[in-house]
């Protein structure tokens, strides 16, 4: 037989694209259209309905950036369309090939009920099936003219990311607003051809099935009358029917399709626009559920549900109905799809608590899995927290973006730092926006790493980010691929069903231990430093407010615990931990609002804490310690004078004139407090740091606190990525404007170093040594005006460390300092929370911070045979896409060097740096709410139970990575104690002894105790 593949394939392609697609709508009648441009921000339906509209013609430009235009569309279904399937078809002037982040619209009925959205790949609105003829159609269409930030593929700087800089020129040209008859036979032929043609081209040329499909398509084209596509579509489909009816191989891979619409809670649009995106997509989904009984849609992010509940009650009611029918599946159990590395431990727990509780309260559904496809790596603390929240499975997708190493598993057990394992799946289709194309189905099977062990994978399908979610075309593809020779089998089902089947067939799946590190997007640990600082400050202020509010509720008659305020503030912080806000990868508008929101949160939390402390009664100046460790340190009084105080963990003490063992001596540029001796060089770096407790051991192998300015232009994704070549070009900032002693107080010695560099940037650092403390603080004030640069602070320490330890949620991870394999080499920039620790047997050094997350650790051997291990904190970046002004301006933060530190010392000082002592006019309480005996047993949260029962909830964890035993004592009469899950539901009774509640923890174990008051 002659090879006619090229002729046939090109024939099918042309006929499909040029004749069949244009015949899907058999007849059309234009709407009468009027328009009204809403001034400023979006308005309510009621305001839009009463506005004055003007006539609007097709092919007219409309929509300034971030604007809202309301269109009134009126029309009548022709009488001769009776019995036909009639729809409205609306093309707002869609651009590009990405269905999200551009023009979108929500169609309303005259009474204000949202009907369905209009999106680039979902342009129809159902009217009648069948029509009776003569129906009067009257729509009000709310159209958003969001700019396409991606139109230059992230290659150009754009001012479009903020309404303040975007201008007012119209972005779109309205193309179409028609009443139309859908020719169902032609529409189905279109889908038959697409599915078979795509299957054909992805089968091997040696496969008989490929040639069988090819010749059947050729015969179908022969059966098609090009002058009468509607009249001959049925004949062409009859030719293809036997080919579509051939069943899949018995051993075919099974793809579990789960409807999905990944909607970033903010990214290339502000939060206000996400509120509208959710309503549009959710309207589409509930409409599709009415049309397809076998449709299943999984939706995460409780915050988005709440927005719809509060702003679109009609859509909310439809969601509730779909949940009851089993077609709409709440998943994920998190408030938002948060970043997987940066939220603190308690914040990550609250993501799960608030998310799961919302779905239980509003739908009676307890979610069983963590649904987090699009985050930039995943902390090794996740398995334990997920299980403690009642989850059985974990789903992710982003690891497919790895730059260097291919992740070896798709279905596996993920083991966290404490030993907890959770069944995990990583879809081999490599997308969370699947559409069941031939390419995707081929990739899912080809990629799947578990062949021979498992036989099924999951594919989230639907257009995200405002693309409208799943479509009827995708559902029709799924139906055709349910049992089709040459293709994997597709079944649309609940993700819980998929995970149950996958686990049953592959219970001994391989184990991956530790973090799921994404070998890409490493700059998200640093970009938009003020956003990250706002998060860190908020997390700690929430901890502080809860502790002292609990103390006041127990000891101050008449004080009312602020349940509702704390709940609202927590949810605000959790929202901003979304995986494109906290990582710093959103447009300017998002980060401008985030910084303002964090300022409001800080102000309100400060007021709540002050109110709680004041409720404890006036009477002398007292110092309050929110940290879970006893502290003896220098604090500044209300008058600004330094004082040395000793305060118990989670408690308070009078401000007294305690004396440290030795004062600080300041001699020129040398600060000595009897514990450490610090010498600042003429160039402002640290010339020497000697640990006097270790016989005067020199800590540094070279200049310490060396500020290094690197060129930072990644290959792609500017705000997201830092590529390894950034290391090759840099400038050491050694020139100073001044180096001066600014404090010679016996309690506090300080030297200020000022530098100017680059494009008008300045850095002022105050190097501080305090009496009684080995910690050296670098209080930093930067006025930053660089572009495409990253600033790092390096500490080369004289330690041969085989690994670094970095704090994560409820523990720490160890990472090798060598680069033996490509896996270690790929970790050239990593994340950590409050500290990084380096050690050799018998001696350790830590670098702490109060607001940064990114760092790198490297190791070299010197000519003298000694080893230098360098840790460099990433302080601030200057990407220009998507926010041209990212990080520009003022930054204030502190980082520290802690010589001679064990892990527990480091944990304690990390808390101390991030939780400054509070000085207030108050009497305080005689005892802390709780106190703990036992090395490694660390209190993370103290609060009243969420059910307003008055029970006290305490979250503990083991911080050193070893076993720990201890006793938790209470500062109130104790009537009972229970171990609970994260949602404060009882698991078992805790052991109570005469001393208190007995606590036994495995390494890094998290334990929640519910304490009943006597």
Query: Which residues are designated catalytic?
Result: 374
For 320, 781, 783, 788, 879, the CA distances from 885, given in Å and listed in that order, are 42, 18, 13, 11, 8
**Residues whose CB falls within 8 Å of the CB of residue 675, separated by 6 or more in sequence, listed in order:** 662, 691, 692, 693, 772, 773, 774
Q: Which residues contact 83 (CB under 8 A, 6 or more apart)?
A: 130, 131
| Tokens 């501080």, residue located | 768
Distance of CA 603 to the CA centre of its chain: 25
Number of H helices, E strands in the chain: 18, 55
Cβ atoms of 796 and 870 within 8 Å: the answer is yes
Beta bridge partner(s), residue 62: 172
In terms of residues, how long is the chain? 1014
CA gap 749, 916 in Å, rounded: 18
Token pair belonging to 609: 């804490």
Contact by Cβ (8 Å): 926, 911: no
For 551, phi then psi, to 5°, come to: -60, -45
Q: Percentages helix, strand, coil for the chain, rounded to the nearest 5?
A: 30, 30, 40
What span, in angstroms and rounded, lies between the C-alpha atoms of 172 and 93?
5
Q: DSSP string covering 431-493, please?
A: -SSB---HHHHHHHHHH-TTBTTB-EEEEEESB-TTS-B--HHHHHHHHHTTT-TTS-EEEE-
Cβ atoms < 10 Å from Cβ of 57: 9
Measured between alpha carbons, how far is 840 from 954 in angstroms, rounded to an integer?
A: 35
Interatomic CA distance for residues 503 and 513, integer angstroms: 18
Integer Cα distance of 309 and 272 in angstroms: 15
Rounded CA separation 961/806 (Å): 12
CA 177, CA 185: separation in Å to the nearest integer?
23
The alpha-helical segments, DSSP class H, found in 484-525 are 495-505
381, 413, 376: which is closest to 398 by C-alpha? 376
> Following DSSP, what letter does each residue of 926-959 receive, concatenated?
SS-SEEEESTTEEEEEEEE-TTSS--EEEEEEE-
Q: The tokens of 672 are what? A: 């000595």
Please report, for residues 688, 917, 954, the alpha-carbon distance to residue 900 in angstroms, rounded to integers and kept in the order given.
15, 23, 31
DSSP 811: E
């Amino acid at each position: 037989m002659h090879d006619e593949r090229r002729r046939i394939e090109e024939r099918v392609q042309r006929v499909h694209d040029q004749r069949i697609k244009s015949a899907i709508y058999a007849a059309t009648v234009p709407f009468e259209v009027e328009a009204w441009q809403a001034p400023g921000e979006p308005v309510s339906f009621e305001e839009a309905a009463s506005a004055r509209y003007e006539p609007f013609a097709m092919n007219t430009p409309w929509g300034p950036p971030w604007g809202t235009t309301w269109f009134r569309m009126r029309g009548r279904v022709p009488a001769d369309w009776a019995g036909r399937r009639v729809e409205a078809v609306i093309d707002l002037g869609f651009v590009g090939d990405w269905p999200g982040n551009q023009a979108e619209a929500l169609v309303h009925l005259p009474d204000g009920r949202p009907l369905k959205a209009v999106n680039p790949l979902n342009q129809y609105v159902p009217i009648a099936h069948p029509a009776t003829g003569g129906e009067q159609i009257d729509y009000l269409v709310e159209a958003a003219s969001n700019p396409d930030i991606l139109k230059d593929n992230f290659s150009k700087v754009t001012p479009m990311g903020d309404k303040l800089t975007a201008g007012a020129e119209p972005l779109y040209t309205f193309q179409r607003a028609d009443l139309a008859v859908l020719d169902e036979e032609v529409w189905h032929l279109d889908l038959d051809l697409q599915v078979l043609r795509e299957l054909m081209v992805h089968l091997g040329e040696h496969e008989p099935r490929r040639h069988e499909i090819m010749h059947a398509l050729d015969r179908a084209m022969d059966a098609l009358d090009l002058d009468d596509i509607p009249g001959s579509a049925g004949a062409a489909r009859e030719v293809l029917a036997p080919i579509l009816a051939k069943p899949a191989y018995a051993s075919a891979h099974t793809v579990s399709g789960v409807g999905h619409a990944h909607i970033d809670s903010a990214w290339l649009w502000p939060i206000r626009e996400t509120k509208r995106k959710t309503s549009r997509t959710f309207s589409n989904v509930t409409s599709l559920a009415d049309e397809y009984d076998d449709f299943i849609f999984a939706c995460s992010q409780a915050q988005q549900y709440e927005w719809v509940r509060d702003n679109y009650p009609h859509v909310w009611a439809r969601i509730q109905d779909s949940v009851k029918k089993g077609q709409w599946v709440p998943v994920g159990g998190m408030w938002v799809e948060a970043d997987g590395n940066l939220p603190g431990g308690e914040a990550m727990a609250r993501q799960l608590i608030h998310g799961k509780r919302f779905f239980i309260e509003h739908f009676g559904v307890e979610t069983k899995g963590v649904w987090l496809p699009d985050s930039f790596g995943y902390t090794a603390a996740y398995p334990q927290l997920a299980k403690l929240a009642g989850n059985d499975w974990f789903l992710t997708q982003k690891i497919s973006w790895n730059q260097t190493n291919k992740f070896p598993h798709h279905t596996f057990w993920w083991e966290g730092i404490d030993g907890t394992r959770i069944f995990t799946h990583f879809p081999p289709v490599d997308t969370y926006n699947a559409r069941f194309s031939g390419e995707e189905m081929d990739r899912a099977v080809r990629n799947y790493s578990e062949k021979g062990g498992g036989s099924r994978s999951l594919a989230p399908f639907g257009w995200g980010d405002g693309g409208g979610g799943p479509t009827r075309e995708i559902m029709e593809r799924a139906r055709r691929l349910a049992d089709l020779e040459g293709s994997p089998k597709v079944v649309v089902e609940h993700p819980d069903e998929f995970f149950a089947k996958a686990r049953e067939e592959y219970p001994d799946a391989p184990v991956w231990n530790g973090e799921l590190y994404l070998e890409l997007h490493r700059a998200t640990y640093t970009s938009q430093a003020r956003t990250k600082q706002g998060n860190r400050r908020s997390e700690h202020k929430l901890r502080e407010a809860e502790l002292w509010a609990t103390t006041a509720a127990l000891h101050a008659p008449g004080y009312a615990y602020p349940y509702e305020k704390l709940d609202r503030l927590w949810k605000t912080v959790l929202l901003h931990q979304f995986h494109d806000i906290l990582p710093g990868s959103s447009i300017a508008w998002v980060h401008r609002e985030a910084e303002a929101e964090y300022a409001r949160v800080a102000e309100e939390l400060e007021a709540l804490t002050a109110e709680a402390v004041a409720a404890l009664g006036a009477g002398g100046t007292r110092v309050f310690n929110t940290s879970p460790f006893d502290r003896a340190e220098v604090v500044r009084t209300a008058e600004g004078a330094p004082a040395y105080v000793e305060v118990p963990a989670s408690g308070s003490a009078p401000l007294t004139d305690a004396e440290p063992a030795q004062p600080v001596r300041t001699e020129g540029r040398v600060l000595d407090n009897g514990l450490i001796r610090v010498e600042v060089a003429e160039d402002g770096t640290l010339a020497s740091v000697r640990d006097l407790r270790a016989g005067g051991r020199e800590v540094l192998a070279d200049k310490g606190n060396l500020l290094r300015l690197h060129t930072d232009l990644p290959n792609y994704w500017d705000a997201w990525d830092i590529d390894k070549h950034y290391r090759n070009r840099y400038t050491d900032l050694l020139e100073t404007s001044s180096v001066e002693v600014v404090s010679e107080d016996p309690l506090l010695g300080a030297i200020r170093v000022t530098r100017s560099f680059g494009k008008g940037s300045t850095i002022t650092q105050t190097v501080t040594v305090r009496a009684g403390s080995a910690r050296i603080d670098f209080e930093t004030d930067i006025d930053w005006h660089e572009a495409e640069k990253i600033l790092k602070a390096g500490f080369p320490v004289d330690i041969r460390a085989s690994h670094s330890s970095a704090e994560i949620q409820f523990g720490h991870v160890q990472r090798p300092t060598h680069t033996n394999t490509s896996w270690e080499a790929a970790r050239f920039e990593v994340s950590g929370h409050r500290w990084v620790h380096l050690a050799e047997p018998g001696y350790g050094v830590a670098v702490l911070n109060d607001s940064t997350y990114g760092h790198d650790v490297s190791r070299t051997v010197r000519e003298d045979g000694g080893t230098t291990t360098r840790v460099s904190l990433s302080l601030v970046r200057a990407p220009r896409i998507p926010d041209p002004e990212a990080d520009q301006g003022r930054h204030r933060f502190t980082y520290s060097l802690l010589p001679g530190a064990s892990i527990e010392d480091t944990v304690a000082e990390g808390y101390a740096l991030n939780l400054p002592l509070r000085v207030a006019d108050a009497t305080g309480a005689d005892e802390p709410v709780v106190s703990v005996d036992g090395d490694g047993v660390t209190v993370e949260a103290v609060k009243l139970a969420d059910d307003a029962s008055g029970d006290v909830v305490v979250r503990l964890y083991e911080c050193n990575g070893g076993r720990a035993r201890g006793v938790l004592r209470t500062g109130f009469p104790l009537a009972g104690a229970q171990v609970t899950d994260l949602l404060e539901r009882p698991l078992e009774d805790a052991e109570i002894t005469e001393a208190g509640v007995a606590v036994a923890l495995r390494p890094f174990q998290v334990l929640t105790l519910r304490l009943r008051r006597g």
